[in-house]
Amino acid sequence: MLGFDGGGSYPVVFRACRAAGAHWLTWRRGDLAPVTADPVRSFRVGPGRTCEAVTLVDETVEINGYGPARQLTLFEHHTPVMQILTSDPTAPAAALLAWLRCRWRIENAFTYLSAHHGIDALADYHADITPDTTKIPNPARVAARTTLAAAEAELASAERALARLLTSDQHHKAINKAIPGAEARITAAHTAVAAAKTERDTHPAKLPANTIGPQAKRARLRTHRRALQMVLRLLAYNAEHWLATHLNTYLQDPDEYRATTRNLLHLAGTITYTTHTITVTLDRPATPRLTRALRLLLDEINTTPPQLPGDPRPITYQLTTT
């Protein structure tokens, strides 16, 4: 199954998926369409066998340029709030809605990675200087278009001049005498326009910068250090996410548990190295509620103690007694 944002919700896309033997799932573009069936309750089993109930309408609609498709409308407080379209006629409706809504988790993850882990920050300023092959406007084409515009302007002027001549107050003999010259001017202008179009079409609209200017260069940042640091940042994010999720099992604060975890990462403490173990002793948090949640989290971590790379000694965590 291929999932699309609203920007990919076009019949031509749906037909291409159908031709390739793939199902598709997408948001409906524009305003919500009227529903023709009554809302029902649908259930989805989530992680840990938790059950989520949603109210929705599951119906078949006709899409211009494609044909029949399945439309799911999510209701909240007796009001439709979201609609999706899909070609899959059998997948659980609540699961389809949940899968598409999860795209916002991806958006939020990238926002969080940028704000707290600097995922978009440069890690290495070393660069390789290479020929600049970026395509830019072709000066010859620009000049040809300018010539064509001037020729078209001359043609329009010649045609207006003939029209003014034919409707002028001059004696008819003077008008007749001037007509051949006006017509010759129009003919010459048509010839110039045709020649200018032919000349314009011989020049590509864009060319590589180093073709237009052989000395054009471009600095390309090296990626070896950036790739390594990107992996480390993603690992740090995943570790923080794991800690926050497990901490909230004991904290039960869905609104602030991520911020609480970030603050707890700054707790002071001491690290004690011995021959066989490494012990991390953290200062107690400011409140009994946080202290209890953190102690339970540390007990969970200590059941399978982590290790430093290349060091067999287990790392155990504890809180100060005072």
293 lies in some domain: yes
List CB contacts of 179: < 8 A, sequence separation 6 or more. Answer: 162, 165, 166
Boundary-marking domain end, from 217, 235, 252? 217
**203 vs 49, higher pLDDT:** 203
204 lies in some domain: yes
Give CA 240 to chain center in angstroms: 24
pLDDT above 90: residue 322: no
111 lies in some domain: no
Q: What is the DSSP string of 12-42?
A: HHHHHHHHTT--EEEEPPSSPPPP-S--EEE
Specify whether 82 is located in the same domain as 156: no
Instruction: Count the domains in the chain.
Output: 3
Specify whether 260 is located in the same domain as 195: no
The encoded tokens of residue 170 equal 């001059």
Boundary-marking domain end, from 78, 101, 124? 101
Least confident of 22-26, 237-241, 244-248, 253-257: 253-257
Range of the domain at 244: 226-319
210 lies in some domain: yes
Boundary-marking domain end, from 197, 217, 237? 217
pLDDT class of 48 with cuts at 50, 70, 90: low
Specify whether 234 is located in the same domain as 286: yes
155: enclosing H helix or E strand? helix 139-166
113 lies in some domain: no
- For residue range 302-315, list pLDDT tens digits in order: 999 999 999 999 99
List CB contacts of 196: < 8 A, sequence separation 6 or more. Answer: 144, 147, 148, 150, 151, 152
33 lies in some domain: yes
Specify whether 212 is located in the same domain as 259: no
Specify whether 213 is located in the same domain as 274: no
- For residue range 179-216, list pLDDT tens digits in order: 999 999 999 999 999 999 999 999 999 999 999 999 99
Specify whether 206 is located in the same domain as 233: no
